[in-house]
Structure 1
Amino acid sequence: MTDTRIRLAVPEDAASIAAMAVALTEEISQRLGVKTFNLDQQKTASLCHALLREEKYLALIAIAEGEAIGFVGISEGRALYAEGALATMQEFFVAPPFRTNGVGGQLLNAAAELARKRRWNRLEVCTPPLPEYDRSLAFYERHGFEITGGRKLKRLFTEAQ
């Protein structure tokens, strides 16, 4: 296991988080063979900085040897089915060289601890499409997540709409 520190991200971490978010979305697009995302790293960093500063988005960041090697981005919400507060892990990324070193598990444990501290009733995650990401699904299940059904859908809105 890598000597890794997990901490709550601050706005100054935005550039590192944006770089990892771009790497995550590019990896998903490459594996699926479809350009699903189109993140601009500079715009993403600016948005991340603003959302972290306004506390409208939370992130846990993994640091090893002074470098950001992973993160989990979290949005808080409310839902009747969740009986109140819940959180969704919107992004989850660990740099490839660290994926078998326990860093992902450390991030999930830190997210679970944050959920308990914030009194969220549940912590949710949506995996990219299966079967391409069946290993991700198995990883989440090993860490206490269970399938709740459904698929993630999207509807995009532009300024013209």
Structure 2
Amino acid sequence: MTVNITIQRATINDAPEVAVMVGELLNEIMSTIGIHAFKFSLDETMARLKDFIYREKYFVFVAQSENQSLVGFIALYESYALYAEGAFGTIPELFVRPGYRSQNVGQRLMEQAKKFGNSRGWKRLEVTTTPLPQFDKTIAFYEREGFAITGGRKLKVAL
């Protein structure tokens, strides 16, 4: 079943609902892996998102249903690397609410991200997802969208 969805670039006015979806995404990940891996404050996330959108540090596209509710989003930011031959996009978050999954919403968001990247002259898009078996569907989605596993692991250190 395919639903009538429109994809548009998010504005600061979309920040409250996108921030709620970020919380839903993080809670889903933590529930799946059984580890409290993220700190989440709705107010702080909303303020940060508004700032990122305003300063064009983050590019967010939202999926809106015919009843005007937001059902998913994809976030992008511009990165630079010599190995990537210049500018490229990174996808830090992609989320579709459970009731709208398997209805091409994620695919439509990804199509918009690719178009946007092309318009900015990006050479590629990159995304990091965990190689745990619980995320096999996520990896399969990205592979269907043309992504290839390149190895390595995401590492971090707090500053």
Shorter-chain TM-score range: over 0.9
Tell me, which stretches of 5 or more residues in structure 2 are unaligned?
A: none
- Measure how far apart 1:130 and its partner are: 1.5
Give yes or no for contact 1:28–1:128 (8 Å, CA) kept in 2: no
- Measure how far apart 1:129 and its partner are: 4.1
Distance 2:32 2:131 in 1: 10
Q: Which residue does the alignment assign to 1:147?
A: 149
Q: What do residues 31-89 of structure 1 show as CA deviations (whole Å, max 9, x unaligned)?
A: 00000111101110011001100111111111112011100111101100100000100
The residue correspondences of 1:76-115 to structure 2 (distance < 5 A) are 76-115=78-117
Identity of aligned residues (%): 39
SS of equivalent to 2:75: strand
Tell me, which stretches of 5 or more residues in structure 1 are unaligned?
A: none
Q: Which residue does the alignment assign to 1:49?
A: 50
Normalised to the residue count of structure 2, the TM-score between the two structures is 0.96
Q: Which residue does the alignment assign to 2:41?
A: 40
2:40 aligned partner, one-letter code:
L
**Alignment RMSD, CA only?**
0.8
Q: Which residue does the alignment assign to 2:136?
A: 134
Normalised to the residue count of structure 1, the TM-score between the two structures is 0.95
Q: Deviation above 6 Å: which 4+ runs of structure 1? A: none
* 2:6 corresponds to 1:5: yes
The residue correspondences of 1:16-27 to structure 2 (distance < 5 A) are 16-27=17-28
Give yes or no for contact 1:62–1:103 (8 Å, CA) kept in 2: yes
1:7 aligned partner, one-letter code:
Q
Q: Which residue does the alignment assign to 1:60?
A: 61
